[in-house]
Structure 1
Amino acid sequence: MQAPPPRARAVRAAGPPPAVTRAAYGTLPGGAPVTRWTLDSGTGVRAEVLDYGGILHRLDVPDAAGRPDTVVLGLDTLDDYLADTAYLGALIGRYANRIAHGRFALDGHPHQVPVNDRGHALHGGTEGFDRRRWRATPQLSPDAAALRLDLRSPHGDMGFPGTLDVTAVYTLDRHGTLRLELTARARRATPVSLTHHAYFNLAGPAGGPVLGHLLAVDADAYLPVDTTAIPLGPAAATAGTPFDFRRPRPIGERIGADHPQLLAAGGYDHCYVLAPPPAGDPLRRAARLHDPRSGRRLELWTTEPGLQVYTGNALDGSLRGPDGTRYLRHGAICLEAQQFPDAPNRPDYPDPVVRPGTERRSTTEFRFPHLRAAAPGPGAGSR
């Protein structure tokens, strides 16, 4: 039985007002400048976002004793991000996860996306939204600091049909909740799955593997995959398998089990089928993460139907953080709220197509309940 963490130090309601600041971060090969935007809640939580890739560069969160550290993996320089193939902290699109062989047909017309992962298209192809410079606009209110990012993806971009206008809004409120709102508007029918690819380590990037973190996923089914990470078909029940996280379990408890799905991926890299949202509120809890050492807790709430759980199986020490820390295998976990992988080819999956005159909206919140546990007064939580 885990010993209880130290009593949480609450995020204070009083303090400086939220703020947004900016600093130069480098220049892209074509000469365009990249800016690092800092969202400060005024109550101890800070987020740094780049307008290249919409990358969440840092997310500083106090632990249960009030000591701050970033809880996401980041890189040192813009050149490091330009060379990165692990999608650290990036916004992902036009289609997150994989499309088998990069091919799909829509309304009778075939389309081909460049393949970049074992013969399949991953995260939008070779030049996805993580490789784009987004237009940034800071936004402020008395209770939150926000950054709006806009991107236009033209017709034929990476083989996808139709011009797509995408907006991403990062909002950090005074309770320490980081909210990401994604909106996509299409001029002709196109499949869309947008997600965020933060690598979380609640002990801090130098905290070692996350195998001791406790994970809970609010799902009783997941999508088994073949040896190239393409879904095999219908969802499978998690009960009685190493994929059952309906109650909190250490990530490392069964990650090395003799199970074909774990052996093929080198750990967890699977999409969980989330329970339908409650009536009247499309935002529901999808996952909880807890580091007993630091006392930090994370809850992910989302409107998306799927959650890809990836345990950093391909991290091999070649990437380093700003402090020189090497990012090793299982050194972080990604919790990627998204549409189902390969859904453009699977009519039995939720429909990922956005059509003219409609828009796809999704919201994901990263909440830190250990900061709110002792917050004074009513309404201390974000919801």
Structure 2
Amino acid sequence: MTPPPAMVSIHEESFGQLSNGTSASLYTLTTPQGMQVKITNFGGIIVSILTLDKTQRLADVVLGYDRVSDYEADSYYLGAVIGRYAGRIDKGQFELNGHLYQLALNAPDSQLHGGKKALNKQLWHACTAQEENKSSIILSYSSPDGEEGFPGEVNFTVKYHLTVDNELIVEYFAETNKTTIINLTQHSYFNLAGHDSGNIHQHKVSINADYFLPMSEKAYPTGEIKSVTNTAHDFSKAKFLAKEIDNNDDDQIRIGLGFDNYWLLNENAIAMNEYAAQAIDENSGRRLTIFTDQPSMILYTANYIDGSHYGKNNVQYQRRAALCLEPQRANNKEKGVNIENCLLTPEQPFYSQTRYVFDLA
């Protein structure tokens, strides 16, 4: 008799209590090959990702914490679902249909990543599902009209799927009863050598993009769309981050204290026919390849982590301990930086998918 196919297992356990007394859960997904992903329903946070290196040694390749209380206090957005709006909104203001909206401010003269109690600080409803080739965590949260200043009630769903092929697939859904704006992303900090292994200068990165968006001294896009050719921001061919990350002759590197810009993905990447971005740690052999249907990608090299946070296993995270690759809809080649890129209307629900493929280079 043919044995049943190996499945991705799911285990649920307590992840501790939040300050309001409610309890968070931690879900562990494990593939037959041993890859393991831990996700909590607080903030939709990816707590850990264990993958094999070229010697078959497992290591945790994302920054994070051991307790949900640490995530409640976290200011770096480690591993979280980001929204309603990923990124900065100058003065926390935007105009929509002739009305000026004032958002909650949680950064100097701006709103950052959705506000003080954004999606990353909410306890989401969670359920699980298993199929032959994947297992899933389905998270849902209803954001009321006016939350953090945004108009419209929005029902969010985020589905995390781990497949038997060691792919982590993230699906985003949103519906509203009133025209509003959203810009969702996943904010995991990756270090493919291991979360406790130092900086990511020796990671080799490529981004499928011919253009990027320069930013001003206040770290907002200037509105210019610039070719990556002959700039430090050319990742059309894989290169080590160390090559340019301290290039203070480059204004953008100086402003961001490293890499922290939008890249406008090429059409073949947006169609998901080719990857959007890839990172490789040659010492371990681990490779992360990202496919997304979103038009832009931020590469952020953890420039503001300062050693004040202790993560998993009491590791003191230092500057550039990881890199983030954040697919977003806020910018594209047709309209650049434009609020119309981010509209969510009652007539047109939002859907997006990003795939994270873990293998060996």
TM-score, normalised by the number of residues in structure 1? 0.89
| Aligned equivalent of 2:75 | 85
Letter of the 2:208 partner, please give it. D
How many angstroms does 1:31 deviate by?
1.8
Within 2, Cα distance between the matches of 1:83 and 1:287? 30
| Aligned equivalent of 1:37 | 27
Letter of the 1:276 partner, please give it. E
SS of equivalent to 1:148: strand
Tell me which of 170, 195, 200 is aligned to 2:185: 195
Q: Does 1:181 align with 2:171?
A: yes
Summarize the Cα distance change of 1:277–1:358 in structure 2 as closer, same or farther, 3 Å threshold.
farther
Give CA-to-partner distance per residue, 1:110-142, whole Å, 9 cap, x none. Answer: 111112222111100111100000000101011
Q: Say if 1:63 and 1:294, in contact at 8 Å, map to a contact too.
A: yes
Letter of the 2:17 partner, please give it. T
- 174-183 or 109-118, which moves further after superposition? 109-118
Alignment of 1:160-171 (within 5 A): 160-171=150-161
- 153-162 or 14-23, which moves further after superposition? 14-23
Q: Does 1:272 align with 2:263?
A: yes
TM-score, normalised by the number of residues in structure 2? 0.94
In structure 2, runs of 5+ residues without a counterpart are: none
Summarize the Cα distance change of 1:150–1:215 in structure 2 as closer, same or farther, 3 Å threshold.
same
Summarize the Cα distance change of 1:80–1:341 in structure 2 as closer, same or farther, 3 Å threshold.
farther
SS of equivalent to 1:323: helix
Within 1, Cα distance between the matches of 2:331 and 2:319? 23
Tell me which of 224, 227, 236 is aligned to 2:214: 224
| Aligned equivalent of 1:324 | 314
Letter of the 1:202 partner, please give it. L
Within 2, Cα distance between the matches of 1:33 and 1:44? 28
Q: Say if 1:75 and 1:319, in contact at 8 Å, map to a contact too.
A: no
Letter of the 1:313 partner, please give it. N
Q: Does 1:207 align with 2:208?
A: no
Give CA-to-partner distance per residue, 1:192-222, whole Å, 9 cap, x none. Answer: 1110000000000111110000000000111
| Aligned equivalent of 2:254 | 263
| Aligned equivalent of 2:348 | 358
| Aligned equivalent of 2:239 | 249
Letter of the 1:270 partner, please give it. N
Within 1, Cα distance between the matches of 2:329 and 2:337? 13
| Aligned equivalent of 1:311 | 301
Give CA-to-partner distance per residue, 1:247-304, whole Å, 9 cap, x none. Answer: 000011111111111111100011111112479x456411010001100001011011
Q: Does 1:148 align with 2:138?
A: yes
SS of equivalent to 2:258: coil
Within 1, Cα distance between the matches of 2:246 and 2:160? 36
Letter of the 1:185 partner, please give it. E
How many angstroms does 1:16 deviate by?
4.3
Q: Say if 2:5 and 2:132, in contact at 8 Å, map to a contact too.
A: no
State, as a whole percentage, how many aligned pairs show the same letter: 32
How many angstroms does 1:163 deviate by?
0.5
Within 1, Cα distance between the matches of 2:329 and 2:269? 18
How many angstroms does 1:17 deviate by?
2.2
Q: Say if 1:41 and 1:145, in contact at 8 Å, map to a contact too.
A: no
How many angstroms does 1:144 deviate by?
0.7
Within 1, Cα distance between the matches of 2:59 and 2:184? 27
- 110-119 or 217-226, which moves further after superposition? 110-119
Give CA-to-partner distance per residue, 1:80-135, whole Å, 9 cap, x none. Answer: 11110000000000000111111001111111111222211110011110000000
Summarize the Cα distance change of 1:341–1:218 in structure 2 as closer, same or farther, 3 Å threshold.
closer
Within 2, Cα distance between the matches of 1:364 and 1:347? 21
How many angstroms does 1:349 deviate by?
6.8
Runs of 4+ in structure 1 off by over 6 angstroms are none
How many angstroms does 1:38 deviate by?
0.6
Q: Say if 1:231 and 1:342, in contact at 8 Å, map to a contact too.
A: no
Q: Does 1:132 align with 2:122?
A: yes
Q: How many pairs does the alignment contain?
A: 356
Within 2, Cα distance between the matches of 1:99 and 1:126? 13
Q: Say if 1:284 and 1:303, in contact at 8 Å, map to a contact too.
A: no
Q: Say if 2:264 and 2:331, in contact at 8 Å, map to a contact too.
A: no
Give CA-to-partner distance per residue, 1:50-78, whole Å, 9 cap, x none. Answer: 00000000001111221111110011212
